[in-house]
Amino acid sequence: MTTSTDTAPAFQGDLDAVDLTDPRTFVTDTADQLHDLWQRLRTERPVHHHRPTGGRPAFWALTRYDDVVAVYKDNARFTSERGNVLATLLQGGDTAAGKMLAVTDGSRHRAIRTLMLKSFSPRALSHVVEQVNKRTRDLLGQVLDQESFDYAEAIAEHIPMGTICDLMAVPPQDRQQLLDWNKQVLSADNSDGSPEDAWLARNEILLYFSDLARHRRKKPGDDVVSTLATAEIEGRPLTEEEIVFNCYSLIIGGDESSRMASIGTILAFIEHPEQWRRFKAGEVTVESATEEVLRWTTPAMHFGRRAKEDVEIGGRLIPAGDIVTLWNTSANFDETTFADPRRYDLGRTPNKHATFGFGPHFCLGAFLGREELKALLVALREMVGGIESRGSAERVFSNFLYGYSSLPVSLRSAW
């Protein structure tokens, strides 16, 4: 992916024919083809009015970094309470609106976020981070010098889910089941998944946390589920729906994005051996490498809002009530913000990527997500001498997540 950004984008198709709601758009094209598409949209239609598809309404797609960041920060003219991803926005709303932090605005959002931030401070997470480092090294140690193994299955599936389950004190025997349900909800990992399967899996997760919250209310610990189950705002406890939906949000957000970034880290080292050499030689810091991995992989391709009033962006009028989607996967490769954005550069600085969003809904788990990647990078630098591909990577079938569900590799021991 070293295409120069000084040349015109190679995508010559009809922009009106592009369907951003169809997962096949993101699975069938190569990364370079997708970057060509985003570059052309940024150049010709940075505020793109996407046609209605499959009986679903039209929506706006913002692809420039500055526009995306501006809308993330503008909670006065844009709302998350009618959905924050295409799947719910196009259906007309989210059943968790006003209950789950991600789709709640205003004073209630601020109160619940303040409450949950206590569980996400670096000090509160110190024990969880210790476990992240230990788990990562243990998992890598089990696969070193194997002729071939699937990195996604053997390692990437277990680190983020283990981390978020540590945060929530989920019993070890329940964790694999939660992972299986979680994969069905968001990515389906292939085109065989059905909306019915996703709906059933979502309900299973909600029921599970409803039961866990009841137990924690009676016997609380120092975990985030106990915090939610026993908290009060203005003298009143959170509703059961608020507790359950926010637990659900933590599992979904804590697993999928980190899993995609972890797999993407290994694939990027395979595809860019010069960056692996630089990293192993200590020519770049773990901190800068972490930020570049987050920019490069951009697991959550988009988030969305609805306009609360008429808003002008880039010379186009967006009427009140319209859906506006913010394409992180384009913003993070905007040549007006990032020098030579299609170059994978682990020493890149500055690197103010949009992967975690901005503004009031900035990702609550950003610190934890960074710590997971740092743990992986440190372990790779110290334990792994070489990374080799052992087969083709399989792309996740999604219009929201970008990443891979399978990555056959071999990791050679550094000793």
Query: Which pLDDT score, from 0 to 100, does residue 192 have?
Result: 61
Residues 186-201: pLDDT tens digits?
654 455 667 788 889 9
Give 405's contacts (C-beta < 8 A, 6+ positions apart): 152, 187, 189, 190, 394, 395, 396
Query: Which pLDDT score, from 0 to 100, does residue 189 have?
Result: 47
CA–CA separation, 64 and 69 (whole Å)? 9
Pair of tokens at residue 164: 């978020």
Query: Which pLDDT score, from 0 to 100, does residue 256 have?
Result: 87
Collapsing DSSP to helix, strand or coil, 364 comes out as coil
Query: Which pLDDT score, from 0 to 100, does residue 291 have?
Result: 98
**pTM score > 0.85 for this model?**
yes
Contact 267/407 with Cβ under 8 angstroms? yes
Strand-strand pairing, 394-395 and 404-406: antiparallel
- Residue 56: CB atoms within 10 A of its CB come to 15
Q: Right CATH number for 15-413 from 1.10.630.10, 3.40.50.720, 3.60.20.10, 3.40.50.970?
A: 1.10.630.10
CA–CA separation, 245 and 6 (whole Å)? 46
Domain map (residue ranges) of the chain: 15-413
In DSSP notation, 141-196 reads HHHTT-S-EEHIIIIITHHHHHHHHHHHT--GGGHHHHHHHHHHHHT-SSTT--HH
Query: Which pLDDT score, from 0 to 100, does residue 190 have?
Result: 53
- Residue 123: CB atoms within 10 A of its CB come to 6
Query: Which pLDDT score, from 0 to 100, does residue 5 have?
Result: 44
Query: Which pLDDT score, from 0 to 100, does residue 1 have?
Result: 38
Beta pairing partners, 408: 150
Q: Residue ranges of the chain with pLDDT lower than 70?
A: 1-10, 186-193
